[in-house]
Chains A and B, each alone.
Chain A
Amino acid sequence: MNAVYILSGLGIFSLLAEIFSFRKILFPIVLLGLLATAGLLVMDWNTGTSHFSNMLTFDNYAIAFSAGIAVIAFLWFLMSRDYFENNTHVTDHFALVLFSLVGAVFMVSYSNLAMLFLGIEILSISLYIMAGSKMTDLFSNEASFKYFLMGSFATGFLLFGIALVYGVTGSFDLGKINQVITAGSTEFSALLYAGVLLMMVGLAFKISAVPFHFWAPDVYEGSPTVVTAFMSTIVKIAAFAGFFRLFATCFASVSGEWVNVVQVIAVLTLVVSNITAVYQNSVKRMLAFSSIAHAGYLLITLVALNEISASAILYYVLAYAAASLAAFAVLHNVAFENENASAESFNGLSKRNPFHAFAMTVALLSLAGIPPLAGFFAKYYIFTVAFESGYVGIVLLAVVTSLIGIYYYFRIIIAMYLKAPETTTPVAVTTMHNVMLVICLLSTIILGLFPDMIIKLI
């Protein structure tokens, strides 16, 4: 719970920074604050306390994901320093990011549907603004507007779903809903299932699963690269953890009724996103589709819902976030001026900046799922989850789509090591970026070698 206080406090603090003009020290304070948040969360481990008349529950699931989000946000800040420096309203942007983190923490720790809704809205509203933060850029404006329209549309579905579920069960509380559903009276089931499906549609929008993904590539492409990195890691983690929390606690007992729908969504997501990614020229757009694809792998855990699903999700999102942040950081530096760099702008990167080329290679190999990196174990673990519940077919499909994945990830690796560079100027990088990349790479390797650290947690 302290985490929520600290994050909100930091947000208000950065709003004040403009007035009292201590902008200079804001950055280190936010970094420290995030580490403190993670630390405090860890201290709450195994307490499982509820707050605000059972609106938020910090069980181990919530703590693990919140702490993960705090650490990833820390890395994200290291990567995005120049984003804040190049903006006119520095402090506003700090506040936006921090408040959206509060929303993210709500989304992983809610035990009441009202909090889920609040969390999603707090997170999304900040993001609508961040997506449009390049005010003079037409695409950034488009991204912001599109995201806003589609986001509100999705929230509408979610709200409608919540209302229907409330109508049936008479409660917003996850525990009570679960009780009513488990007690089971079939007479009002149609309404309940309509509610469940509507909520599913709303959340599928948020995790950009096919066929509710159409906003994602345009929004990811139009937003500034660092904001895209934020959306495809932190937002995705929060949305998926929220999605899973809802369905695993409330609706697990009637999983037979909705599992087919999730299965269709998962299959579509895997197939469509991976195939579309092959045809992308812009690296950012490719990463957008790859992020959709990873949502597909994550959905497998929901299809095969069992006792190790939660830890599979936790491990997967951490592995994915470490690799993904590294890839976005390299893209950010390589394509500094030209936001929509094509694979060609990576040509000869191994000569222009060998360390960046190496970092990108490791990140892409991890995303592609090559041992011994974390991305491999993440996929493997998801396969195990599916096998445990007997879904062999979907594993075979995931294997095929992983192979397609190799094709588009490796295109960049080949460009970096094989093609001649268009310019020979070295890519300039700040020390902070290098530090951030080293942390990402080390965690990718260490998580891959010692997965027990994470998967034993929840």
Chain B
Amino acid sequence: MLTTLLILWPLVGAAILLALDARFAKPWALTVSLIELVLTIVTVAQFQPDATTQFVVNYPWVASLGINFYVGIDGISMLLVILTTVLTPLIILSSFKNSYEKHISFYSLILFMEMALVGVFVALDGFLFYIFWEMALIPIYFICLRWGGVNRGAVTLKFFIYTLAGSLVMLVGLIYLYYQTPGEHSFAVEALYAAGQNLPASTQSLIFWAMFLAFAIKMPVFPFHTWQPDTYHTSPTQGTMLLSGIMLKMGIFGVIRWLLPVVPQGVNEWASTAIILSVIGIVYASCLAIVQKDLKRLIAYSSIAHVGLIAAGLFTLNKIGMQGAMIQMISHGIVVVGLWYIIDIIFSRTTTQEIASLGGIRNSAPIFTTVFVVIMLGSVALPLTSGFVGEFLLINSVFQFNNIIGAVAGLTMILGAVYMLRSFQQTMLGEANVRTQNFIDLGLNEKLVLYPIVVMVILIGVYPAPLLKISEAAVNNLHQILTNYQALSQ
């Protein structure tokens, strides 16, 4: 029941919001997302950290086509639901200073988005997963289209068509799997696993690519990333936060739940290709990040690099890689939302996000500088910050896979330090100029968003055990499925 409530509550909240007076829109949206957070906390409190799927709800939906409203939460879903529901209030809060026109629609779209995201993470029916997957695309498209920046029409259309192309191919793959399910056809996750694992190797490879394409575009993995920098750059800050903070985790989650265990043979065949693509992406995006002149674009490219590492770690198919991917998803989500907000604050006070025309902010805004330092260190994965735990595990797993590739993937830490520290130095340190000399330090509202982020970055870095504990059993289980399969097929 809790699972259904988690999905439906944001939708109900969004519907009520549409009927409210414009004055109450902001507080109500925040209230809804906080109640959702409370629901999540209740769920976490009842959650047993073992390999089982809990809070299962299973109703027939389109019975004649084997489609069920089948949802449930295991350790992997739990972490992502936590991420979604923790970040959404922060994202809503971060927009309180902006005055978007028609902000009722803006906030209801964010809540609608939250519904779809939670749905994606808890769905255990392939068709239902696809529906939520696509439903998440609609609100973010309209958020970017209506409140975005220059040239948003063309940029968002490219984004939409690009991602939809991937999803439709995935849909074809899912339908194919559906027809391979034994007995009465069904979209239930277990049936799809059984169907996929019994396919011959060549077919598994085809299905692998059909599904991988959708996930690779969403993450995005090189060379399917071309929509991403423009879209991140053009979107309003909250849109970018949703996109990179939560939505790209849909892609990684998709790989974990709907790719690795579905076609293990296909994964075996193509995992090294996926790793190489991801590692190319890491280096390529990091190099591009170094030469960016615009802060938003810089973070956009750094996001590609970070995701590339997560994907690489995941496809090594060893346990530490998967566990690292889980923790890094959380860490990246938190850190990147913080970074986007910092850029938003800089832009709103200086009307520029170009690195060259900033500088000397530290002189007038010490608190802001400190917050920036912590979040930036989280991003460059300094030990004792959240980024370190995940990246360490991930790089470790890639090293186990292959020393040379591991070494190349490790570059992400060095290159990351180069572009982050350099951009920090040029924006915050040095002489203040006309734009930055009257930089006002953080207000209450901004502190409310950034302080929790800072706390989480440090807390996860120092004591990641509780988070690791939630997903550990589920990840072990997944790993077990894969190794069992390999043992059988040899």
Complex CA distance for A203 and B296, rounded to whole angstroms:
57
Would you give the shortest CB distance from B63 to chain A, in whole angstroms? 6
Taking CB as reference atom, which chain B residue is nearest A402? Answer: B168
Decide if A403 touches B131 in the complex (CB within 8 Å). Answer: no
Complex CA distance for A395 and B178, rounded to whole angstroms:
15
Decide if A417 touches B172 in the complex (CB within 8 Å). Answer: no
The answer to whether the Cβ of B100 comes within 8 Å of any Cβ in the partner chain is no
Contact partner of B161 among A387, A396, A406, A451, CB < 8 A?
A406
Question: Which B residues are in CB contact (< 8 Å) with A395?
Answer: 172, 175
The answer to whether the Cβ of B152 comes within 8 Å of any Cβ in the partner chain is yes
Q: Is the interface of A mostly helix, strand, loop or mixed?
A: helix
Interface size class of A (residues with CB under 8 A): 20 to 34
Decide if A418 touches B153 in the complex (CB within 8 Å). Answer: yes
The answer to whether the Cβ of B463 comes within 8 Å of any Cβ in the partner chain is no
Q: Is the interface of B mostly helix, strand, loop or mixed?
A: helix
Scoring B residues 337 to 367 as 1 if CB is less than 8 Å from chain A, else 0, what string do you get? 0000000000000000000000000000000
Complex CA distance for A451 and B161, rounded to whole angstroms:
26
Question: Which A residues are in CB contact (< 8 Å) with B168?
Answer: 399, 402-403
Contact partner of A380 among B135, B171, B179, CB < 8 A?
B171
Question: Which A residues are in CB contact (< 8 Å) with B131?
Answer: 371-372
Question: Which B residues are in CB contact (< 8 Å) with A380?
Answer: 171, 175
The answer to whether the Cβ of A383 comes within 8 Å of any Cβ in the partner chain is yes
Decide if A417 touches B65 in the complex (CB within 8 Å). Answer: no
The answer to whether the Cβ of B270 comes within 8 Å of any Cβ in the partner chain is no
The answer to whether the Cβ of A248 comes within 8 Å of any Cβ in the partner chain is no
The answer to whether the Cβ of A414 comes within 8 Å of any Cβ in the partner chain is yes
What is the number of contacts between chain A and chain B, taking CB atoms within 8 Å?
A: 66
> In residues 187-236 of chain A, which contact B (Cβ within 8 Å)?
none
Complex CA distance for A403 and B161, rounded to whole angstroms:
7
Complex CA distance for A402 and B161, rounded to whole angstroms:
10
Stretch at the interface among B138-146, B392-400, B434-442, B480-488: B138-146
Would you give the shortest CB distance from A306 to chain B, in whole angstroms? 13
Decide if B157 touches A407 in the complex (CB within 8 Å). Answer: yes
Complex CA distance for A327 and B85, rounded to whole angstroms:
36
The answer to whether the Cβ of A456 comes within 8 Å of any Cβ in the partner chain is yes
The answer to whether the Cβ of B160 comes within 8 Å of any Cβ in the partner chain is yes
Scoring A residues 355 to 385 as 1 if CB is less than 8 Å from chain B, else 0, what string do you get? 0000000000100001110001000110110
> In residues 130-174 of chain B, which contact A (Cβ within 8 Å)?
130-131, 134-135, 137-138, 142, 145-146, 152-153, 156-157, 160-161, 164-165, 168-169, 171-172
The answer to whether the Cβ of B99 comes within 8 Å of any Cβ in the partner chain is no
Would you give the shortest CB distance from B202 to chain A, in whole angstroms? 15
Decide if B134 touches A371 in the complex (CB within 8 Å). Answer: yes
Given A399-B172, A418-B145, A456-B64, decide whether A371 and B157 contact each other with a Cβ distance below 8 A: no
Decide if A417 touches B142 in the complex (CB within 8 Å). Answer: yes
The answer to whether the Cβ of B62 comes within 8 Å of any Cβ in the partner chain is yes
Contact partner of A370 among B134, B145, B156, B157, CB < 8 A?
B134
Decide if B175 touches A384 in the complex (CB within 8 Å). Answer: yes
Question: Which A residues are in CB contact (< 8 Å) with B96?
Answer: none
Complex CA distance for A371 and B153, rounded to whole angstroms:
22
The answer to whether the Cβ of B451 comes within 8 Å of any Cβ in the partner chain is no
Decide if A371 touches B62 in the complex (CB within 8 Å). Answer: no
Decide if A372 touches B164 in the complex (CB within 8 Å). Answer: no
Question: Which A residues are in CB contact (< 8 Å) with B61?
Answer: 452
Question: Which A residues are in CB contact (< 8 Å) with B63?
Answer: 452
The answer to whether the Cβ of A26 comes within 8 Å of any Cβ in the partner chain is no
Given A387-B179, A395-B172, decide whether A403 and B165 contact each other with a Cβ distance below 8 A: yes
Question: Which B residues are in CB contact (< 8 Å) with A402?
Answer: 168
> In residues 89-139 of chain B, which contact A (Cβ within 8 Å)?
130-131, 134-135, 137-138
Decide if B64 touches A410 in the complex (CB within 8 Å). Answer: no
Scoring A residues 399 to 415 as 1 if CB is less than 8 Å from chain B, else 0, what string do you get? 10011001100100110
Taking CB as reference atom, which chain B residue is nearest A372? Answer: B131
Given A365-B138, A372-B135, A418-B153, decide whether A396 and B179 contact each other with a Cβ distance below 8 A: no
The answer to whether the Cβ of A149 comes within 8 Å of any Cβ in the partner chain is no
Complex CA distance for A399 and B175, rounded to whole angstroms:
13
> In residues 382-428 of chain B, which contact A (Cβ within 8 Å)?
none
Would you give the shortest CB distance from A382 to chain B, in whole angstroms? 11
Decide if A407 touches B161 in the complex (CB within 8 Å). Answer: yes
Decide if B157 touches A384 in the complex (CB within 8 Å). Answer: no
Complex CA distance for A316 and B137, rounded to whole angstroms:
23
Contact partner of B145 among A414, A451, A455, CB < 8 A?
A414
Given A371-B130, A417-B142, decide whether A455 and B175 contact each other with a Cβ distance below 8 A: no
Would you give the shortest CB distance from A392 to chain B, in whole angstroms? 7
The answer to whether the Cβ of A388 comes within 8 Å of any Cβ in the partner chain is yes
Decide if A414 touches B135 in the complex (CB within 8 Å). Answer: no
Complex CA distance for A246 and B195, rounded to whole angstroms:
37
Decide if B135 touches A410 in the complex (CB within 8 Å). Answer: no
Question: Which A residues are in CB contact (< 8 Å) with B134?
Answer: 370-371, 376
Would you give the shortest CB distance from B230 to chain A, in whole angstroms? 15
Given A371-B134, A455-B62, decide whether A418 and B152 contact each other with a Cβ distance below 8 A: yes
Decide if B157 touches A452 in the complex (CB within 8 Å). Answer: no
Taking CB as reference atom, which chain A residue is nearest B147? Answer: A417
Closest 10 CB pairs of A and B: A371-B134, A371-B131, A399-B168, A414-B153, A418-B153, A452-B62, A417-B146, A387-B175, A451-B62, A403-B165
9 residue pairs from A and B, CB less than 8 Å apart: A350-B146, A371-B130, A376-B134, A384-B175, A387-B179, A403-B161, A403-B165, A417-B145, A455-B64
A residues with CB within 8 A of B: 350, 365, 370-372, 376, 380-381, 383-384, 387-388, 392, 395-396, 399, 402-403, 406-407, 410, 413-414, 417-418, 451-452, 455-456
